[in-house]
Amino acid sequence: MLRLALAQINPTVGDLAGNSRKIIEYIERARQLGADLVAFPELCLSGYPPEDLLLKQSFLADCGKWLDRTRAAACGIAAIIGFPEGRVGEVSNAAAFISDARLAGIYRKALLPNYGVFDEMRYFKPGDGRQVFEIGGITTGISICEDIWHYDGPPSIQAQQGGASLLINISASPYHASKGGERADMLAARARDYGAIVAYVNTVGGQDELVFDGQSLVFDPRGRLIARGPQFEEDLLLVDLDIAGRRRADRSTASTGPPIERTVIPITASSPKPAVETRNLEPLQPVAEIYRALVVGTGDYVRKNGFARVVIGLSGGVDSSLTAAVAADALGADNVIGVAMPSPYSSPQSLTDAQQLARNLGIELRILSIGDVLHSYLETLREQFAGRPPDVAEENLQARIRGNLLMALSNKFGWLVLTTGNKSEIAVGYATLYGDMAGGFAVIKDIPKTLVYELARWRNAQQQSEIIPARVMAKEPSAELRPNQRDTDSLPPYSVLDPILKAYVEEDRGLEEIISMGFDRDTVRYVTKLVDRNEYKRRQAPPGVKITHKAFGRDRRLPITSRYTETA
Amino acid sequence: MLRLALAQINPTVGDLAGNSRKIIEYIERARQLGADLVAFPELCLSGYPPEDLLLKQSFLADCGKWLDRTRAAACGIAAIIGFPEGRVGEVSNAAAFISDARLAGIYRKALLPNYGVFDEMRYFKPGDGRQVFEIGGITTGISICEDIWHYDGPPSIQAQQGGASLLINISASPYHASKGGERADMLAARARDYGAIVAYVNTVGGQDELVFDGQSLVFDPRGRLIARGPQFEEDLLLVDLDIAGRRRADRSTASTGPPIERTVIPITASSPKPAVETRNLEPLQPVAEIYRALVVGTGDYVRKNGFARVVIGLSGGVDSSLTAAVAADALGADNVIGVAMPSPYSSPQSLTDAQQLARNLGIELRILSIGDVLHSYLETLREQFAGRPPDVAEENLQARIRGNLLMALSNKFGWLVLTTGNKSEIAVGYATLYGDMAGGFAVIKDIPKTLVYELARWRNAQQQSEIIPARVMAKEPSAELRPNQRDTDSLPPYSVLDPILKAYVEEDRGLEEIISMGFDRDTVRYVTKLVDRNEYKRRQAPPGVKITHKAFGRDRRLPITSRYTETA
C-alpha cells in the first residue's frame, strides 16, 4: 500500500522563498499524515508561468538554490517538486524526485505547449521521457502537464507509461469553463489505456490573466474516479493506493532507442499510518465555477501585487455591479470602495441603483459629480471644437474624466482600480481607452454580456437578500454618455452579438460559416469588422481573468496593423 | 549568365490584394529589365508577421487564392514568392518557386525562430529542407530567413546548400541597431563556407513594433560583397551572375535520409538584355540609420492604419521635440499638429521653446492651458483629498489632463496621438499611465535618453538652420509637474541610468554583474527595482519602433505579478 498525497498549492511567481516555505509546510503535513510520497504541481517552486524570468541566469541559479533548501527539508518521505532546471538556453521544465532529502532523479517535460497562452518552446528544451521511477516496488511514470495529453509524443513516454502501475502527472493547467470535464475524460482514458492508476495534481490560484483551479484527480486502472480535490483552493488530497507491485518489464522496454532509465526509491516504512479520509468532491456547477474563478483570479492579482483595497466606478449598471460583488467576495466588503460619478446625462435612477448595490454589498460609496470638470474641459476646447457637432469626442471625455478620478484616488490612497468592461464590449470596442478601460485589473473582461447576467442572477440566488438590485438586471444597457443613449443604438442585441463573437473570436470561424449558423449577413460583417478595428484598444487594456477557451491577451495575438478583411 | 532581381518591397499585413498588386508590379519591372529570376521577401504575400491571422482558415485560403492570381501574372520569368501555405495547424512558412506562371516547386522554412519577437513555432510546421532547384542549369538552394543563420538545422539544409552554386535567402529580418553588420558578416561567411553566391532579399517597412530595413545583399563565393540595396526603401536590386553551371552532384547527396528533391526550371532565353547598373550602396551611419528607422516605422504605422495626420503634446523638452521632428519627416510638416499645454508649474520658457520648435519644423501649434481643468478636478476631489499633502496624485492629474485633451482632439479630428516617452523613462516608470503614455504609437519608446540627445543633434546637423532649439538641448530634463522639479530628483543622471538599463533590460545581466561593471550598489538595486515594479505600466503602453536588441513589448515578456527580487 502506497499512501500518496497530492499537494495542490497556490505559489506566487518569483517568490522562491515563499513558495519553498509553502512546499516545506505541505511536505511536513503529508509526512504527519503518513504519506509515502507527496507530489507538487508543475514549476511550483518558481510559480507558473515565470515567462522571461527564465531568461535571467540569476533567477535560474536562485531556483537551484531554493530547490536544494527545499529538498533538505524532505526527510523521511518522497516528494516530487516542479522547478526550472538548468542554465539560460538549456532550461528544462523539470520534476525533481526527492527521496528522504536526497535528489533521486529528475524527469524533464517532453511535450512543450506553444499555442494559446503557452510559450514553452521560447524557454525550454524538451526532455526525452526516458525516465521511470520505482517507488516501494511500484513502477511509477512521471509526466508534466502536456506530456499526458497526447499520444504523439516521444515513444519513450508511451513506453514509460505503458510499463508503469502508477502514473503521476504534475500540472499547471490554466482554467477555462468546461476544462475540468475535458481533463477528467482524458485522464480516465489514459488510466484505462495503460491499465494504470493515474494521479493528477494541479496548481491553484491566479497569475495575471490565468487562474488555476486545482481539482486534483485520481483514477483507478479501469478509469474510475477515486479522488477529487477541491476547486480553486489549496489542499492536500490523500489516497491509499493498493498496487500489486512491479509490472512486466517487457511493456517498459517496448520503445526503440536507448533504454529507459529506472531509478529505485525505497519507501521508509513509517510507524502505523493514521487513518485518513480520501475525498471525492463533486465539481461546482458551471456558473458557480466561473464565479469562483473570477473571485480567485481577482483576489490573487490584488494580493500578490501588494494591494489591500480596490476602487470601482459604479454606474448603476450590471457590469460594475457584478464586478463589485466579485471584489467584495474576493477581498471583503471593507476593502472595496465604490465611486458613483454622475454626469448631466446620467439618469437619477443610476445613482439610486449604485447606492442600493453598495448598501446590499456593505461597501463604501463615494459620489463625485463630473459635471464641473466636463464643463471646464469643454470650455478649454471651445475654440478647437467650434462649429463641430458633439460626437464621440464629448462622450469619451466623460468616460476619461471618470477614469482620471479613479486613478487620482488610486494614486492618493494606494487602491487598485478594477475596471468593469465585459468581453462583448471589449470585443467590439464599445469602451473608452483611458476611460472605463483605465485600471489595473479587468475582472470580467472575458465574460460575455449574456453571461454577466447569468453570473449576477447566480450571485443573487446565493443568499436570501438581494445583492444586485432587480432594477439593475431589468434595465436596458446604456453607456449614458449622451441623452437617451442605448447600447442597441449601435450594436445588435447581446443575444445575437454574443454567439457571433464566440464563433469569430473564440473559435476563429469564417464569416460564411457564421452566417450559415443563422445570423444576418450584414450583422456578421458589421460585428466582425468592429472586432478587427479595435485591436489597438485591447492591446492597451489591463489583464483580466481568462475563463473562456480564448481570452483577449496572450491567448489571442493579432496584429494591430492589419488590412485583412474577409469577404462575405 | 543569370540576371537576378531582388525585390525588397514594403507589404502590409493582411492586404492580400495590395501586396499581390505590388508583387506583380515588381515582376513586371524585373521582366522589363531582363531579369531571369526575381526573388521577393519572406511571407511578402501576407505581410510579416501575420500573427494569429494564421489561425484563421479563411485567411489561409485567401492567401492560396492570391498566390494563384499572382503566379498567373509571372509570365516569361521565374519568381520566388514567400507565402503561408496550407491549412490551420499544418501551415508552412513557404516560398513558391514560380516559372513562367507555373508553380514549379515549394521550399518550406525548416528553422522556426521562437525567441525575442518571434513566435513561429506557434504557427508553422518546419520543412525538411530537402528541396533544391536547378535554374538555367545552375543549382540553386533556397532558404528562408533563420534557415541560413545556423549550422545546426536539418542536415538536408547543409547538403542542399553545399551542393548549390547559388543560395537565395528570402527574409523578413526585423531591424535593430547594428544588425546590418551582423547579417552581412554571417552571409559572407556562408558564401565562403559553401563556395557559393549568396543573394539575400529582405522586406522593408514598419509593422506594429517592428521595422524592416531592406538592405538586400549579394556576396560572391569568396564572401565579397557585390551588391547592396538601399535601407528602409523599396527597391529592385539587379545583379548579373556569371555562374559556371551545375555543381558536382556528390556534394548535394552527402546528407543521410531520403534524397533531396531537385526541380528543374528552364530559363526563357529573353531578347538581348538591357544594360543595368548593379548598386552597392554604402550603409547609413549608426545614428542616421536609427533616425531613419524611426521615420519609416512611424510613417508606416500611421499610414497603414489609415491615418493622415498626427497630434503631439509639445512640452518644450527634447523628447517631444525629437518626436515631432521624426513625425514631420515621416508625414510632412502639414500633417503634424503640436499642442502645448502649459500648467501653473510650467516655466514660461517651455512654451517659448515649443513655439520655436514648431516654427522651425513648420508645424501648426495649438495652445491649451490646463489650469482651469486642473482646478476643477482639485475642487471635485477636495473633500476626498482633505488633510493629505499634495503628491504624485496631483502630478499625475496634470499628465492625464493633457492625455485627455490630446485624445479629445484625436476623437474630434481623426488625428493619431503620438506619445513622446523615451526608453529610460518607460523602463523606470517615470511616465504617467493614461497621461503622457496615452496615444496610439510611441515613437521613441525604444530610444534611451542619451540616444535621444544624439538623434536630436544629428537631426540638427542635417541642415543649415536649427530645428530643435539649442536651449531645448541644453536645459535640465524636468517633468514640470511640481515647482522646481528635476528628473534627477528621483533618478540618477541619464549617463549612469542608461548603461544600467541596457545591462539589465537588454542583456538580462545579474545585479552583481552590473555592479562589477563599476556602478554603485544602491543605485543598481534602486534602478532595477523600479524596472521590475513598472511592468504593469508597460503592459498598457502603445507600441513603438524596436531599434535595440530587446525592446519593451513582444520582445520582453515578463509577468506583472512577480515577487522575484535578485539579492545584491
SS (H, E, C) B92-111: EEEEEEEECCEEEEEEECCC
CATH topology of domain A2-265: Nitrilase/N-carbamoyl-D-aminoacid amidohydrolase (3.60.110)
The dihedral sign for the CA sequence A117, A121, A123, A125: positive
Which residues numbered 462-521 in B keep a CB inside 8 Å of some CB on A? 508, 510-512
Nearest to B212 by CA among B492, B487, B504, B546: B546
Subunit contact B301:A561, Cβ cutoff 8 A: yes
Please answer whether residues A117 and A101 qualify as being in contact, where contact means their C-beta atoms are separated by less than 8 angstroms: no
In chain B, residues with a C-beta closer than 8 Å to the C-beta of A51 are: 557-559
What are the pLDDT tens digits along chain B (568 aa)?
A: 899 999 999 999 999 999 999 999 999 999 999 999 999 999 999 999 999 999 999 999 999 999 999 999 999 999 999 999 999 999 999 999 999 999 999 999 999 999 999 999 999 999 988 888 999 889 999 999 999 998 777 766 777 777 899 999 999 999 999 999 999 999 999 999 999 999 999 999 999 999 999 999 999 999 999 999 999 999 999 999 988 655 544 444 455 666 778 888 888 666 678 888 889 999 999 999 999 999 999 999 999 999 999 999 999 999 999 999 999 999 999 999 999 999 989 999 999 999 999 999 999 999 999 999 999 999 999 999 999 999 999 999 999 999 999 999 999 999 999 999 999 999 999 999 999 999 999 999 999 999 999 999 999 999 888 899 999 999 999 888 888 889 888 899 999 999 999 999 999 999 999 999 999 999 999 999 999 999 999 999 999 999 999 999 999 999 999 999 998 8
The dihedral sign for the CA sequence B113, B119, B121, B123: negative
Subunit contact A563:B15, Cβ cutoff 8 A: yes
CATH architecture of A286-481: 3-Layer(aba) Sandwich (3.40)
DSSP state of A259: P
| pLDDT attached to residue B18 | 98
Name the residue of chain B whose CA is nearest to A207's CA: B561
What are the boundaries of each domain within chain A?
2-265, 286-481
Subunit contact A381:B405, Cβ cutoff 8 A: yes
Q: Is B280 exposed, middle or buried (0-12, 13-18, 19+ CB in 10 A)?
A: middle
Subunit contact A14:B400, Cβ cutoff 8 A: no
List the single best residue of A117, A381, A563, A566 to mutate versus B (max B Cβ within 10 A).
A563
Distance from the Cα of A235 to chain B's closest Cα (Å) equals: 23
In chain B, residues with a C-beta closer than 8 Å to the C-beta of A370 are: 380
By the CB < 8 Å criterion, does B53 face chain A?
A: yes
What is the helix (H) or strand (E) element at residue A6, kind and residue range? strand A2-8
Torsion of CA B298, B304, B308, B313, to 10 degrees: -40
| pLDDT attached to residue A272 | 80
Chain centroid to CA B405: 30
DSSP state of B135: E
Distance from the Cα of B368 to chain A's closest Cα (Å) equals: 7
Please answer whether residues A47 and A9 qualify as being in contact, where contact means their C-beta atoms are separated by less than 8 angstroms: no
Distance from the Cα of B305 to chain A's closest Cα (Å) equals: 6
- DSSP labels, B366-425: EE---HHHHHHHHHHTHHHHTT----HHHHHHHHHHHHHHHHHHHHHH-PEEEE---HHH
Which residues numbered 368-387 in A keep a CB inside 8 Å of some CB on B? 368-370, 372-373, 375-377, 379-381, 384-385
| pLDDT attached to residue B253 | 45
Which residues neighbour B275 within 8 Å (Cβ) at sequence distance 6 or greater?
none
B145 among known catalytic residues: yes
From the candidates B44, B63, B85, B109, give the one annotated as an active-site residue: B109
CA angle B372, B376, B380 (to 5 degrees): 170
Name the residue of chain B whose CA is nearest to A57's CA: B510
By the CB < 8 Å criterion, does A66 face chain B?
A: no
From the candidates B44, B85, B145, B423, give the one annotated as an active-site residue: B145
For helices B392-413 and A392-413, give the axis angle rounded to 10 degrees.
170
Distance from the Cα of B300 to chain A's closest Cα (Å) equals: 9
Please answer whether residues A366 and A358 qualify as being in contact, where contact means their C-beta atoms are separated by less than 8 angstroms: no
By the CB < 8 Å criterion, does A407 face chain B?
A: yes
CA–CA separation, B440 and B423 (whole Å)? 16
Subunit contact B119:A557, Cβ cutoff 8 A: yes
By the CB < 8 Å criterion, does B307 face chain A?
A: no
According to DSSP, the β-strands at A261-265 and A364-367 are unpaired
Distance from the Cα of B547 to chain A's closest Cα (Å) equals: 18
Which residues numbered 204-263 in A keep a CB inside 8 Å of some CB on B? 206-208
Distance from the Cα of B544 to chain A's closest Cα (Å) equals: 12
List the single best residue of A369, A513, A562 to mutate versus B (max B Cβ within 10 A).
A562
Distance from the Cα of A190 to chain B's closest Cα (Å) equals: 24
Name the CATH superfamily for B286-487.
HUPs (3.40.50.620)
In the chain, the amino acid numbered B435 is G
| pLDDT attached to residue A267 | 81
| pLDDT attached to residue A256 | 61
By the CB < 8 Å criterion, does B438 face chain A?
A: yes
SS3 B89: coil
CA–CA separation, B312 and B258 (whole Å)? 60
| pLDDT attached to residue B156 | 67
User: If you count residue pairs, one on A and one on B, with CB atoms under 8 Å apart, how many are there?
Assistant: 248
Binned average pLDDT, 10 residues per bin, chain A of 568 residues: 96 98 98 96 98 97 98 95 97 97 96 97 94 89 93 72 89 97 96 94 98 98 97 97 63 59 79 86 97 98 98 97 98 98 93 97 98 98 97 97 98 98 97 98 98 97 92 91 88 96 97 97 97 97 97 96 93
The dihedral sign for the CA sequence A480, A485, A488, A490: negative
- A36 phi and psi, to 5 degrees? -85, -30
Which residues numbered 74-113 in B keep a CB inside 8 Å of some CB on A? 88
By the CB < 8 Å criterion, does B408 face chain A?
A: yes
| pLDDT attached to residue B250 | 44
pLDDT in tens, A431-464: 999 999 999 999 999 999 999 999 999 999 998 8
SS3 B128: coil
Subunit contact B561:A396, Cβ cutoff 8 A: no
**Most distant CA pair in chain A: distance in Å?**
88
Nearest to B240 by CA among B269, B275, B211: B275
Subunit contact B562:A511, Cβ cutoff 8 A: no
Indicate the residue of B53, B508, B556 with minimum beta-carbon distance to A558: B53
List the single best residue of B412, B413, B550 to mutate versus A (max A Cβ within 10 A).
B412
Subunit contact A15:B563, Cβ cutoff 8 A: yes
Distance from the Cα of A241 to chain B's closest Cα (Å) equals: 37
CA–CA separation, B8 and B254 (whole Å)? 33
List the single best residue of A210, A373, A550 to mutate versus B (max B Cβ within 10 A).
A373
By the CB < 8 Å criterion, does B174 face chain A?
A: no
By the CB < 8 Å criterion, does B15 face chain A?
A: yes
3-state SS record for A470-498: HHHHHCCCCCCCCCCCCHHHCCCCHHHHH
Subunit contact B119:A115, Cβ cutoff 8 A: no
**Distances from the Cα of B175 to the Cα of A220, B45, B180, B295, angstroms:** 55, 20, 8, 13
Torsion of CA B438, B440, B446, B450, to 10 degrees: -60
Name the residue of chain B whose CA is nearest to A123's CA: B115
CA–CA separation, A4 and A201 (whole Å)? 11
| pLDDT attached to residue B252 | 46
Burial call B485-497: b when 16+ CB within 10 Å, e when fewer: eebeeebbebebb
By the CB < 8 Å criterion, does A119 face chain B?
A: yes
CA–CA separation, A495 and B300 (whole Å)? 39
Could you give the residue numbers annotated as active site of A? 42, 109, 145
CA angle A214, A218, A224 (to 5 degrees): 130
CA–CA separation, B18 and B24 (whole Å)? 10
